[in-house]
Every structure is written in C-alpha cells, then in structure tokens.
C-alpha cells in the first residue's frame, strides 16, 4: 500500500511540475482515481490546476475527474453538480475532436454506466462504432489494452463483437 501511495505521489508531483502531462501518466492517475476516493480527490486537484483549453484529451480527463468525484460523493447535490460539470467537459472534448477513440471510449464508459434517470446514454452506439473501427489501428498499446479489457467485460458488446478484441 505504501508503494502505491509513493508511486501516486510521484506521479502527482510530476504532473504538477510538468506543463503538459504524459497521456500514459494521466491514464494511470485516472484508473487509480476510479478505484479510490482519496486518489479521486487528488486527481481532481491535479486536473483543476491544468490549462486544458487547447487539448481535447486533457479536457476529457478533467471531465472524467469530475465524473469520478460525482461517483465518490455522498451528497446528492454535489453528486449532480460534479456529474453535470464532468459531462459538459466531456461533450466539449468530443465536439473538439469527435473521432478521438480515447475520448469516445471514455464517453462510452460513462454512458454505459450512468444511471438511466440521468438520461446520458444517447451516444453509446456511435461511440461503439468509433471504438470498433479504430481499435485495430491504435498504435498506443496501453490504450488498446485498456479498451480490450473493458470491452471483454462489458455487457454493451455482444459475444460476436467481443471476438475481435480477444
């Protein structure tokens, strides 16, 4: 546990010093944040301090930091506020770079897991098509593996669709 904390602390330090964080490091922070409330708060803090205006992927991750915070919040008003803020950032990132497979994958993950009553599920099929068409062309092996792992456990993909990801 101490080793994970030390690793996470070093990543936070690296991100707070760097002008633009490495995508691989951001992805690691995101996955730690999704699993742990303390990591989620730290991830949000790091993302809040970044200038994301010119990079849709950074904006996407900033949105995801808010969405994860919504997931870890207990207060219904805070939960909804974080969700709306994160969703808006994610949608803006998509509008800026609509064919970016990583951003579409993030939205796909959110929409397939968002509660039905939030009404945020209208892009599942279009994002799914972008993921299917772009997965084989991905050069980022880390991203490719993350997508593969998610899809193989997702109920949003049929057994026939999952075959191409094995």
Going residue by residue through the chain (166 aa), what tens digit of pLDDT does each one get? 554 544 554 555 444 434 456 888 889 999 999 999 999 999 999 999 888 888 999 999 999 999 999 999 999 999 999 999 999 999 999 999 999 999 999 999 999 999 999 999 999 999 999 999 999 999 999 999 999 999 999 999 999 999 999 8
Question: How many CB atoms neighbour CB 122 within 10 A?
Answer: 8
Question: Within 13 A of 122's CA, how many CA atoms are on the CB side?
Answer: 5
In this structure, the answer to whether residues 112 and 72 fall within a common structural domain is no
The pLDDT assigned to 2 comes to: 52
Instruction: Indicate if 89 and 139 belong to the same structural domain.
Output: no
pTM of the model: 0.85
Burial group, residue 131, by CB count within 10 angstroms (0-12, 13-18, 19+): buried
148 and 111 within one domain:
yes
Domain limits at 127? Answer: 104-166
Residues 38 and 115 occupy one common structural domain: no
Cα angle 48, 127, 149 (rounded to 5 degrees) comes to: 80
Instruction: Give the count of beta carbons closer than 10 Å to the beta carbon of residue 72.
Output: 18
Q: Do 85 and 112 fall into the same domain?
A: no
pLDDT of 51 reads: 86
The answer for 119, left when phi > 0, alpha when psi is -120 to 50, beta otherwise, is: left
pLDDT for res 1: 52
pLDDT in the model for residue 134: 95
Say yes or no: 5 and 56 in one domain.
yes
**Overall domain count for the chain:** 2
Pair 23, 71 in one domain: yes
Residue 78 and residue 118 in one domain: no
Boundary-marking domain end, from 45, 66, 97: 97
Q: What is the pLDDT of residue 20?
A: 53
157 phi-psi bin (left φ>0, alpha ψ -120 to 50, beta other): beta
Considering the domain architecture, whether residues 142 and 125 belong to the same structural domain is answered as yes
**123: number of Cβ within 10 Å:** 16
Same domain, 35 and 113: no
Q: Which two tokens stand for residue 46?
A: 């790091």
Residues 80 and 6 occupy one common structural domain: yes
């Amino acid at each position: 546990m101490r080793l994970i904390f030390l690793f996470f602390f070093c990543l936070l330090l690296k991100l707070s010093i760097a002008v633009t964080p490495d995508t691989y490091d951001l992805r690691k922070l995101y996955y730690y944040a999704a699993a742990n409330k303390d990591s989620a708060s730290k991830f949000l803090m790091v993302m809040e301090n970044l200038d994301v205006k010119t990079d849709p992927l950074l904006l996407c991750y900033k949105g995801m930091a808010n969405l994860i915070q919504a997931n870890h919040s207990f207060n219904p008003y805070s939960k909804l506020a974080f969700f709306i803020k994160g969703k808006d950032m994610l949608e803006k990132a998509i509008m800026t770079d609509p064919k970016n497979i990583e951003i579409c994958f993030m939205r796909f993950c959110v929409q397939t897991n968002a509660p039905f009553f939030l009404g945020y599920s209208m892009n599942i099929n279009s994002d799914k098509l972008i993921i299917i068409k772009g997965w084989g062309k991905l050069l980022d092996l880390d991203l490719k593996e993350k997508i593969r792992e998610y899809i193989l456990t997702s109920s949003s993909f049929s057994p026939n669709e999952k075959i191409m990801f094995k």
